[in-house]
Amino acid sequence: MPLKTLGVFLLLASRLNFIMGAVVFNWPDPFLDTLEDQLYRLGFSSASGFALNCAARQDTTIAAQWLRLAYHDAATHNSTTGTGGLDASIAFEFTRAQDVGEGMLASLGDFLGVQNQYVGMADTIAMGAINAVIGCGGPVIPFRGGRIDATEAGPATVPEPQQDLDSHIASFQTQGFNETEMIALVACGHSLGGVRQVDFPLIVTEDVPTGVQNFASNVGFDNTVVHEYLNSTTENVLVVGSNITTRSDLRIFSSDGNVTMQSLASPDTFNEVCADLIGRMINTVPSTVTLTDPIEPFDFKVWNTHLFPQGGSLAFLATLRIIETGANRTVTMFWKERTGTFCPTEGCSIAPFQVESEVPSLYGQLKGVTAFILHSFNASIDLVTSISHFWFEINDNDGSAPFIVDNNGANYTIDQDVLLYDPRRTIATFASQPVVVVGVKDSSTSTNVTALSMIANPILDSDPGVPLPINITTVFELDSSNPPADGYTFYSAPIVNTLDNTIRTTVNGTAYSLWVRFLTAAGV
């Protein structure tokens, strides 16, 4: 059957991306790969699942804690100097009086462990804010990635309730929001959660059974806080608390004669305005940082590729993730050899050994993704001629011509076969702690193999330290339990609790590096 050339398909795809202003994914791109998984796949980020159903914690909601954390992190921005903003500096600041509350460290603890060499804590905090809002039934906010984690605390510029209106206006101006936007952003934020008596005894002066005086009478993300303010039934202590000095929400909400609050009485307006302002809040970054275009779910994504020597050939595992379209698709993987001749002109090919359907994250579902279909391939590659690149042909089985998925015309390129992560030998060696095994195509037994790994710095109750991930470097040793085979010599190292690993070696003066995101591989 003739293949429809990519021209039309690509033109269409890039046009759509242009119109939507969405990011374009060219494999391999560990940064976008990680962020897209965390946004759209279920179980790939703790900054998503925990906040589902507006789940309760510590007498408030996890979502409320995440949203407050994001604001306090962003509040270090100074639009005049272009410094601060959503940069995870909160990890160095959460012990300050203006950041009081156990929700701060609890949230950082939720987020710690999904970072890697490419995606930092600041992007996780931003993603957490987005998931907090939808987890409580609020609007969908676009996600842009690329925030850079600070290495020290920012200025102590979080607004506090006892400050006067002029200082609040000035604070928000510095952070990039005018007076109207300040009113709305505070109303959006104070849709969730409340004020804890233990932390603010001079504000919550009357005992509340839970210890938290909520801003609104309901739990979800909506404009009840606005309605109750306008119809004077509010119990928001920053509006009606007995201490007049700390009625900051009242001063802010009424600062334009209630015009903005009245405009937020419409649920649609509230959602639109909050999506825009919380979106701007999480995109408040130092002027040296450039964020990506919004990350929409990728139509086609190669995932979990592994190339490793096995019984006289190279095993090549790959999965193509496709957004469910309703078509009963047949997907074929093609590849070409690296040297010499092995495959026919049209390429070697194989059908998937497994096709699975996967439910996307709530964010994915709200973006209209009904399911991801995972087509998994297990190819046996000739050891000598090896593999240089692969691509896919998709037949919708509806009479239309099959089309090619080839990484936007560039093919999925395997840049080397000299340094390989060996999932099978790694898993077989797993005992109480992971022992990572890599194969090096070099008969020397003294090759220098190292890994730069990121690990989650454990949060200790006694001393939480700085809840950010840290790097470690590990030197591999010749692996005595895996003798040389198929032209590869094996090296191993115990690497515990890693978030990702970049393995490096040099053979014959050429440097090779390999990104290993997960130490386990399903079905290996």
For ligand HEM, the binding residues (CB under 6 A) are 60, 64-65, 67-68, 71, 101, 103, 159-161, 168, 185-186, 188-190, 192-196, 199-200, 248, 278, 281
CA-wise closest residue to 156 among 89, 203, 102, 218: 89
Neighbours of 314 (CB within 10 A): 24
* Residue 356, beta-bridge partner list: 374
Does residue 81 belong to the site contacting ligand NAG (CB under 6 A)? yes
CA distance 51 to 62: 6
Cβ 274 to ligand HEM, closest distance in Å? 8
Does residue 471 belong to the site contacting ligand NAG (CB under 6 A)? yes
Q: CB within 8 A of 114, min separation 6: which ones?
A: 38, 44, 45, 46, 47, 124, 499
Cβ 303 to ligand NAG, closest distance in Å? 14
Quick note: the x/- pattern for ligand NAG over 227-266, rule CB under 6 A, is: xxxxxxx---------x-xx-------x--xx--------
Query: Which residue among 411, 447, 497, 513 contacts ligand NAG (CB under 6 A)?
Result: 411
101 binds, among ligand NAG, ligand HEM, none (CB under 5 to 8 A by kind): ligand HEM
Cβ 181 to ligand NAG, closest distance in Å? 5
Give how far Cα 195 sits from Cα of 33, 64, 481, Å.
38, 11, 58
What is the layout of strands, in order, in the sheet containing 354-358? 300-310, 313-323, 372-382, 354-358
349 binds, among ligand HEM, ligand NAG, none (CB under 5 to 8 A by kind): none
Longest alpha-carbon distance in the chain: 83
Does residue 157 belong to the site contacting ligand NAG (CB under 6 A)? yes
Cβ 188 to ligand HEM, closest distance in Å? 5
Cβ 227 to ligand NAG, closest distance in Å? 3
Q: CB within 8 A of 429, min separation 6: which ones?
A: 435, 437, 481, 482, 492
Does residue 313 belong to the site contacting ligand NAG (CB under 6 A)? no
95 binds, among ligand NAG, ligand HEM, none (CB under 5 to 8 A by kind): none
Tokens of 238: 């920053």
**Does residue 379 contact residue 310 with C-beta atoms inside 8 Å?**
no
Cβ 47 to ligand HEM, closest distance in Å? 15
Cβ 505 to ligand NAG, closest distance in Å? 8
Residue, CB closest to ligand NAG: 227
520 binds, among ligand HEM, ligand NAG, none (CB under 5 to 8 A by kind): none
Ramachandran angles phi, psi of 88, nearest 5° = 65, 15
Q: What is the β-pairing status of strands 389-395 and 412-413? A: antiparallel
Helix (H) or strand (E) holding 39: helix 30-40
471 binds, among ligand NAG, ligand HEM, none (CB under 5 to 8 A by kind): ligand NAG
- Which residue shows structure tokens 């046996």? 380
CA distance 236 to 256: 19
Ramachandran angles phi, psi of 382, nearest 5° = -60, 130
Does residue 399 belong to the site contacting ligand NAG (CB under 6 A)? no
Give how far Cα 64 sits from Cα of 192, 271, 415, Å.
5, 16, 45
Binding site residues, ligand NAG, CB under 6 A: 78, 80-81, 117, 155, 157, 162, 174, 178-181, 202, 224, 227-233, 243, 245-246, 254, 257-258, 317, 328, 330, 336, 347, 353, 378, 389, 397, 406, 409-411, 418, 441-442, 448, 450, 452, 470-471, 507-508, 523-524
